[in-house]
Amino acid sequence: MRSLGTRRVTLAAGVATVAVIALAGCSAGQVAETALLKTPISGLNTQSPDGKLLIRNLQVIYNDPEGYPANGDAALEVALFNQSTDEMTVLISSRPLQDEQAGIVSARQIGLDGGPAAGRPSANPEPTGGSSDSPDEVGGSNEQNTGVEQPSTPPSLPSAPSIAPTATLQPARITIPPLSSVTYLPEDDSKLVAAGLSDELVPGHSLSLVFEVSGQAQPIELTAPFAVPLSPASRAPGETGEEHE
């Protein structure tokens, strides 16, 4: 027959074992849930009020911590999805906001640099790249809606592409076939460029853009954020003679 003290020791050991198993189970659940998390995308996701045009991962491509200088040119990244059964024309421009806000820059011109890339029809569009000019009338809407989940594009690369002189840019008038998409990425031959920046465009600032869409009465006014780098900037070495504790 066990003494009262022995039974108490045995009971305490059993409680401790149950607690360890429970903690191990919780830890395993947290690891499995964390493994399902995806890398966030810093670009803006929105759409036209009627849902026919989806704008995905709109952002200024990261170049370096100093950003782009005033009067300089900045490369943009965006994916446009035509969800309708009709051809769509999108004209992208920039203009200062009516109520000027600190950190929001405009550009003299939004243009295309380089040759067009081929697009691909798709019932569930995925970005493929491409652009072309079209004489169609364009318009848009200033209502922004970010509550709809749609396919996203890969995050931007840490280095910005080279940009040709402003004189070579063509107007950013983009034709999207029915149920298709066009995408502008840093590594593409055809690039979307903001030329003649009104002020320096640095990380933390954004670019004022206007999307005019065929068949829409009002333009869509947006601000494209500056992309977040995929890796931190390198730190400068310490100065000569720097004292260390």
Same domain, 75 and 106: yes
Please state, in angstroms and rounded to a whole number, the distance separating the CA atoms of residues 80 and 58.
9
Kindly state whether residue 111 falls inside one of the protein's structural domains. Answer: yes
Residues 218 and 110 reside in one and the same domain: yes
Residue 22, phi then psi, degrees to nearest 5? -65, -45
Distance CA 55, CA 51 (A): 10
Q: Are residues 89 and 188 in the same domain?
A: yes
Residue with structure tokens 């009465």? 217
108 and 21 within one domain: no
pLDDT of residue 223: 95
Compute the Cα dihedral for 194, 199, 200, 205 and give only its sign: negative
pLDDT (tens digit per residue) in 84-94: 999 999 999 99
The range of the structural domain enclosing residue 54 comes to: 44-225
Instruction: For residue 160, name the pLDDT band (cuts at 50, 70, 90).
Output: low
Q: Would you say the pTM of this structure is higher than 0.85?
A: no
Task: Give a yes or no: residue 194 inside a domain.
Answer: yes
Mean pLDDT of the chain: 74
How many helices (DSSP H) and strands (DSSP E) are in the chain?
1, 13
pLDDT for the residue 92? 98
The domain tally of the chain equals 2
Using 50, 70 and 90 to split pLDDT, how confident is the model at 58?
very high
Q: What is the pLDDT of residues 175-199, one digit of tens each?
A: 999 999 999 998 999 999 999 999 9
What is residue 217's predicted lDDT score, i.e. its pLDDT? 87
* Range name among 70-74, 140-144, 148-152, 226-230 with the lowest pLDDT average: 140-144
